[in-house]
Amino acid sequence: MSTPRKVFIKTYGCQMNVYDTARMSDVLRPMGFEQVEAAAEADLIILNTCHIREKAAEKVYSELGRLRMLKQDRAARGRDLAIAVAGCVAQAEGEAIIARAPVVDFIFGPQSTHALPDLISRYDAGERAMVETDFPARDKFDALGEKAAAAPAVPVSAFLAVQEGCDKFCAFCVVPYTRGAEYSRPPERIMAEARLLVDKGAREITLLGQNVNAWHGQGAGGTWNLARLLSELASIDGLGRLRFTTSHPNDMDDELIAAFAENEKLMPYLHLPVQSGSDAILKAMNRKHTAGQYLDLVARLRRARPDIALSGDFIVGFPGETEEDFAATLRIVREAGYAQAYSFKYSARPGTPAAERPDQVPQEVKSERLARLQDLLARQQQAFNAAFVGRSFDILLEKPGRHRGQLVGRSPWLQAVHVQARGHAIGDIVPVRVERAGKNSLSAHIMDTTTADV
């Protein structure tokens, strides 16, 4: 690779990958790498991959096919192009990726971001087909630590990883294998990173973890849980809003529920996946709770914070799922009531127990059930948004909109809200009144704070 060098990082999958991509860029910046937005300009291309469903993993190979052409093109013009695969496919498949796609020069797993400088110098020395996939999460965070916030600018709404990995072993899921055992970062590291993020302009922080509500750590006065961490974070001046994702129903303790009532900076939105409404399927999934327990939890959350917006994940067509099981999923959706949700056809993943089951559900059945579920979820989302017309609340302005003078902000309930700027800037928290509701967003006007436009 020549200097100065350019890196293009393509991110697939969840917010944890988005966070890791930002960390890669933190590691590369002091090495003279500039991040670019197009593969064609880059000297180094990193695919930060996702292994959660077959489609996600296969995308990587089609991308690598295209990159092979790009690399050949470059070679013909005497220029080099290094290609790396990172993330969960890297962790799950390791050197098998190179066997299938020899265009790949090196591979590193989600816990090995800090190995990047070494991998690049070995690449420069002529080494190829390198694989770095065995570090525990602890090493990763020790090595990256507060460097996470050393970027020249951070988004107004920033991610902060507090927990990584999963010990839950749901029967369908690869995450415990790709991200390893649950690990909680120490509170003082998190607090330091949060302060840096706020100093650099973050107004909102979303705490990230595969099971974020399983986070715990040794802080002042003993063991802290997530509720305690959120209350310490709320004391940071300049920080306006807090969120956290993704939560597991079984780790939702009373204090965390109460935090939605007591912590003024904690926004009334919770992503709380249930996956299925059938007790038989929940059991087969190894979720370790029933539909009734989930609904009870939702009721307790709504008692603490009546306006809380609920979001979820659903899987249709898990092995053995009958029409009756699926009907129970539609029922739990109606009973819980979602502001927003993600739903997927079950995808058999190599190495997971459910993939071995003989009673796989046919594709067309899965497609048909997914369509019915998505129809219901879309109607719920639309009704949720429609109920906001005429209401006023504060939004955090996050980015420019598509039209001139337009800005896009987020409501407390995570809806995208389009407004005309009226002299306000990204990073401002401003009061708005909603004029129109769409399927996925709201349109509003900023209220005049001096003349009390109410």
Q: Is 172 in the site for ligand SAH (CB under 6 A)?
A: yes
Long-range contact list for 385-389, CB < 8 A, 24+ apart? 385/415, 385/437, 385/438, 385/439, 385/440, 385/441, 385/442, 386/437, 387/437, 388/415, 388/434, 388/437, 388/442, 389/434, 389/435, 389/436, 389/437
Q: Cα(32)–Cα(5) distance, rounded to whole angstroms?
A: 6
Q: Which amino acid is at 309?
A: A
Q: Which amino acid is at 364?
A: E
Interface segment toward ligand SF4; rule CB under 6 A; list 172-180, 187-195, 356-364, 436-444? 172-180
Q: How far is the CB of 17 from ligand F3S (least distance, A)?
A: 4
- Measured CA to CA in angstroms, residue 366 lies from 3, 53, 239, 317, 341 at distances of 50, 14, 44, 5, 17
Q: How far is the CB of 87 from ligand SAH (least distance, A)?
A: 14
From the list ligand SF4, ligand SAH, ligand F3S, none, partner contacted by residue 344 (C-beta under 5 to 8 A by kind)? ligand SAH
Q: How far is the CB of 170 from ligand SF4 (least distance, A)?
A: 3
* Nearest to ligand F3S of 247, 415 (CB atom): 247
Pick out residues in 76-105 that bind ligand SAH (CB under 6 A): none
Q: Is 19 in the site for ligand SAH (CB under 6 A)?
A: no
Pick out residues in 157-186 that bind ligand F3S (CB under 6 A): 174-175, 178-179
Interface segment toward ligand SAH; rule CB under 6 A; list 43-51, 122-130, 325-333, 343-351? 343-351
Pick out residues in 54-73 that bind ligand SF4 (CB under 6 A): none
Q: How far is the CB of 411 from ligand F3S (least distance, A)?
A: 25
- Sketch the per residue contact string, 392 through 411, with ligand F3S: x for CB under 6 A, - otherwise: --------------------
Q: How far is the CB of 209 from ligand SAH (least distance, A)?
A: 8
Give the three-state DSSP class for 17. helix
Identified binder of ligand SF4 from the candidate list 211, 213, 247, 340, rule CB under 6 A: 211
Q: How far is the CB of 208 from ligand SAH (least distance, A)?
A: 11
* Nearest to ligand F3S of 13, 249 (CB atom): 13
Tokens of 153: 């600018």
- Closest alpha carbon to 179 in 250, 91, 93: 91
Alpha helix stretches (DSSP H) within 101-220: 116-124, 137-144, 175-178, 187-199
Q: What share of the chain is helix, strand, coil (3-state, %, to 5)?
A: 40, 25, 35
Q: Cα(395)–Cα(213) distance, rounded to whole angstroms?
A: 25
- Closest alpha carbon to 213 in 142, 273, 263: 273
Q: How far is the CB of 18 from ligand F3S (least distance, A)?
A: 9
- Sketch the per residue contact string, 118 through 157, with ligand SF4: x for CB under 6 A, - otherwise: ----------------------------------------
Pick out residues in 222-281 that bind ligand SF4 (CB under 6 A): 248
Q: Is 53 in the site for ligand SF4 (CB under 6 A)?
A: no
Q: Which residues of 93-131 are buried (b: 16+ CB within 10 A; e: fewer)?
A: bbeebbeebebbbbbbbbbbbbbbeebbebbeeeeeebb
DSSP string for residues in 300-361 = HHHHH-TTPEEEEEEEE--TT--HHHHHHHHHHHHHH--SEEEEEE----TTSGGGG-S-PP
Q: Cα(65)–Cα(356) distance, rounded to whole angstroms?
A: 30
From the list ligand SAH, ligand SF4, ligand F3S, none, partner contacted by residue 27 (C-beta under 5 to 8 A by kind)? none
From the list ligand SF4, ligand F3S, ligand SAH, none, partner contacted by residue 346 (C-beta under 5 to 8 A by kind)? ligand SAH
Alpha helix stretches (DSSP H) within 137-203: 137-144, 175-178, 187-199
* Nearest to ligand SAH of 45, 173 (CB atom): 173
Q: Is 176 in the site for ligand SF4 (CB under 6 A)?
A: yes
- Closest alpha carbon to 224 in 215, 234, 233, 237: 215
Pick out residues in 311-340 that bind ligand SAH (CB under 6 A): 313, 315
- Sketch the per residue contact string, 127 through 166, with ligand SAH: x for CB under 6 A, - otherwise: ----------------------------------------
Q: Cα(208)–Cα(197) distance, rounded to whole angstroms?
A: 14
Identified binder of ligand F3S from the candidate list 1, 13, 270, 271, rule CB under 6 A: 13
Q: Which amino acid is at 346?
A: Y
Q: Is 248 in the site for ligand F3S (CB under 6 A)?
A: no
Q: Cα(295)–Cα(293) distance, rounded to whole angstroms?
A: 5
Tokens of 136: 């525990």
Q: Is 248 in the site for ligand SAH (CB under 6 A)?
A: yes
Q: How far is the CB of 14 from ligand F3S (least distance, A)?
A: 3
* Nearest to ligand SF4 of 248, 305 (CB atom): 248
Give the DSSP H or E segment for 231: helix 226-234
Write out the residues near ligand SF4 by the rule CB under 6 A.
Answer: 166, 168-170, 173, 175-176, 210-211, 248
Write out the residues near ligand F3S by the rule CB under 6 A.
Answer: 13-14, 16-17, 50-52, 87-88, 174-175, 178-179
